[in-house]
Amino acid sequence: MRAIVQDSYGVEPERVLRLGEIARPAIGDDEVLVRVAAASVDMGTWHCMTGLPYAMRLAGFGVRSPKAPNPGRALAGTVEAVGNDVTEFTSGDEVYGTCGGSFAEYASVETSVLAPKPANLSFEQAAAAPISGVTALQAVRKANVQPGQKVLVIGASGGVGSFAVQIAKAFGAEVTGVCSTGKTDLVRALGADHVIDYTIDDFAAGEHRYDVILDVGGNSRLSRLRRALTARGTVVIVGGETGGRWLGGFDRSLRAVVLSTVVSQKLSMLASTENSDDLRALRDLIESGQITPAIDRTYPLGETAAAIQYVRDGHARGKVVITM
């Protein structure tokens, strides 16, 4: 089968990724073989490709070289075969979920991170949802967003942020999205009640205070986040691109957790975990029309390196998808 192959870590996609021919993956008793129709790219893809921060390597992604055949993780496609213990899926089922190595024509996927594809989505749209959508759902839940609350989403135009805006709205919140000038129209189209262009206005400088702040992949100082928060408000930090090569943005998240023990505000971080229950919950929100994945552009499998570089450079408006 055709697949993107990665033998070593590196920061330049064109140097470490190549299109090759490899054998179809074998499946275990609790796995299914999926014929991949589409996969998606996020900042996690870049981290898996580079092995940065180094803490990722120690967490099981591979110390000297990546364990997965390629850095793709999210997919949508059709079940080709099922393992001996699999009862919830059969050949021909359309599914979406996560795995290691989704930038390929076929992938082996554990049933614990797989669910039926939302019926109203194309494969390309469905591939955009498993990681970014589930992460956003878990962040909104962790913040305990309630109807009528004022929620600020920092990074509202990105993969996770574009889902977070819609999910917070589905939970009944009044949502303000923060993004750059060229992405304000997208964030409004996602349903945000208000949009802040961070190149013009500082979300922490005005009189507005928010019950919840979802800081998606941001780099704001904790003091700025707290200044924009109500006295007993909640911050959930989702990722982050600050910090050094060892911890990345994890050090800021740890500081937030420690500080939360001595202040009235709740400062926390999210370590998302993909699972089939949340994939099914996300599917329900999508099929009810409350969420629609925002697709910026698609790339063919052979241009995966360019797609990853595009996301890394911060150009994406929503999600970037790889088609097979």
- Kindly list the averaged pLDDT for each block of 10 residues, start to end, along the chain of length 324: 97 97 97 99 93 81 89 98 98 98 98 99 99 98 98 97 99 98 97 98 93 90 94 92 64 76 90 96 99 98 98 94 98
* Separation of alpha carbons 319 and 311, rounded Å: 9
Count each helix (H run) and each strand (E run) in the chain, helices first: 11, 15
Tell me, what's the pLDDT at 256?
Answer: 75
Tell me, what's the pLDDT at 198?
Answer: 96
Q: Which amino acid, 38?
A: A
Task: Give the residue carrying structure tokens 């797609």.
Answer: 307
Tell me, what's the pLDDT at 248?
Answer: 63
| Backbone φ and ψ of 111, nearest 5° | -65, -20
Cβ atoms of 106 and 35 closer than 8 Å: yes
- Spatial neighbors of 188 by CB under 8 A, at least 6 apart, are 177, 195
Tell me, what's the pLDDT at 101?
Answer: 95
| Backbone φ and ψ of 149, nearest 5° | -70, 155
Q: From the options 3.40.630.30, 1.25.40.10, 3.40.50.720, 3.40.50.300, give the CATH code of 132-269.
A: 3.40.50.720
* Separation of alpha carbons 113 and 130, rounded Å: 9
Instruction: Please name which of 142, 88, 79 lies closest in space to residue 109, comparing C-alpha atoms.
Output: 79
Q: Which two tokens stand for residue 160?
A: 């996770």
Residues paired with 321 in a beta bridge: 40, 298
**Domain residue spans in the chain?**
2-130+274-323, 132-269
Tell me, what's the pLDDT at 240?
Answer: 67
Sheet holding 266-269, edge to edge: 194-197, 174-179, 150-154, 210-216, 229-238, 266-269
Cβ atoms of 135 and 160 closer than 8 Å: yes
2-130+274-323 has which CATH code?
3.90.180.10
Task: Give the residue carrying structure tokens 């996927």.
Answer: 109
Topology match between the domains 2-130+274-323 and 132-269? no
**Global pTM?**
0.95
3-class DSSP state for residue 102? coil
Residue 60 per-residue DSSP state: I
Pairing of strands 31-41, 106-110: antiparallel
Instruction: Please name which of 196, 186, 210 lies closest in space to residue 297, comparing C-alpha atoms.
Output: 186
Tell me, what's the pLDDT at 174?
Answer: 99
H-helix or E-strand containing 254?
Answer: helix 250-260
Tell me, what's the pLDDT at 83?
Answer: 98
Give the other-Cβ count within 10 Å of 15's Cβ: 10
